[in-house]
Amino acid sequence: EAQVTQNPRYLITVTGKKLTVTCSQNMNHEYMSWYRQDPGLGLRQIYYSMNVEVTDKGDVPEGYKVSRKEKRNFPLILESPSPNQTSLYFCASSFLGTGYNEQFFGPGTRLTVL
Amino acid sequence: SQQGEEDPQALSIQEGENATMNCSYKTSINNLQWYRQNSGRGLVHLILIRSNEREKHSGRLRVTLDTSKKSSSLLITASRAADTASYFCATDAQLVNNAGGTSYGKLTFGQGTILTVHP
């Protein structure tokens, strides 16, 4: 089944404790992206990647890191999480860039930073 | 600044009625997409309309695009209780990357319209 998977789905952590949210897609998509969703603010793009070893900042990259060493994986790293990073996070992927194709979304990761 | 902005923020209708949601944006686009999100779950793509298209249909969905007004509308006809969800428009944006070229990498979402369809 074609899908985008994220792990973990739920995570409660404390300020400053490094964490990684994994994202994997099995559709051979070149493009992958991370978003965060907050009430009243909609979805905001954190980082995106056009292909392996190619990443760019989105609207709200501060406090996050990403890497794209393999085509199928695009992990989101929070080196020192803070409470303002409490949010619902989505990974998405698509062929080419957003100018051409729909994005497929993962199920989301609900992160709480205490 | 917010690229796609939906209107209304919330819409409540009875089953069988039509639901219309609007989206406005600020800059030139290549295409505009509509997504649906059931509560707390991932977004699902509904329909994509390119900048050179004016109207597109998919089942009970009809999307229009007016690039002169920088606006789009999503019409759901004969709504059902199962249509209850949040609906988002999303626009792409051409970017100049560090090498000076152009990349299509930024999909900007509006804040969404919450649609409630009462049985």
Concatenating the DSSP letter of every residue in B11-55 gives EEEETTS-EEEEEE-SS--SEEEEEEE-TTS-EEEEEEEETT-SE
Cβ-contact A101, A93 below 8 angstroms: no
Q: How does pLDDT run across B17-38, given as a tens digit for each residue?
A: 999 999 999 888 888 999 999 9
Nearest C-alpha neighbor of B76 from the set B90, B57, B91? B57
Sign of CA dihedral B42, B45, B51, B56: negative
Q: Rounded to the nearest 5°, which phi and psi values hold at A48? A: -140, 165
Residue stretches of chain A with pLDDT short of 70: 97-100
CA B10 – CA B79 distance, rounded (Å): 15
A95 contact B CB<8A: no
Are A48 and B105 a contacting pair at CB < 8 A?
Answer: yes
DSSP A39: T
Whether B11 has a pLDDT exceeding 60, the answer reads: yes
Q: How does pLDDT run across B50-77, given as a tens digit for each residue?
A: 888 999 999 999 999 999 999 999 999 9
- The pLDDT assigned to A42 comes to 86
- pLDDT bin (cut points 50, 70, 90) of residue B44 is very high
- pLDDT bin (cut points 50, 70, 90) of residue B95 is low
- Other CB atoms within a 10 A radius of the CB of residue A66 amount to 21
A112 contact B CB<8A: no
DSSP B78: S
A79 contact B CB<8A: no
What percent of chain B has pLDDT above 90? 63
Mutation for B interface: A98, A100, A101, A111, most B CBs within 10 A? A98
What percent of chain A has pLDDT above 90? 80
Helix (H) or strand (E) holding B56: strand B55-58
- Other CB atoms within a 10 A radius of the CB of residue A32 amount to 27
How many interface pairs between A and B have CB atoms less than 8 angstroms apart? 74
Return left, alpha or beta for B26; rule: phi > 0 is left, psi -120 to 50 is alpha, else beta.
Answer: alpha
Sign of CA dihedral A93, B26, B86, A58: positive
- The pLDDT assigned to A21 comes to 98
Helix (H) or strand (E) holding B118: strand B113-118
Could you please report the per-residue DSSP string of A40-103? TTEEEEEEEEEETTEEEE-S--TT-EE--SSSSB--EEESS--GGG-EEEEEEEESS-TTTSPP
- The pLDDT assigned to A99 comes to 54
Query: Following CA atoms A49, A51, A54, A56 in sequence, which dihedral angle do they give, to the nearest 10 degrees?
Result: -20
Whether B103 has a pLDDT exceeding 80, the answer reads: no
Are B104 and A102 a contacting pair at CB < 8 A?
Answer: no
- The pLDDT assigned to B100 comes to 43
- pLDDT bin (cut points 50, 70, 90) of residue B98 is very low
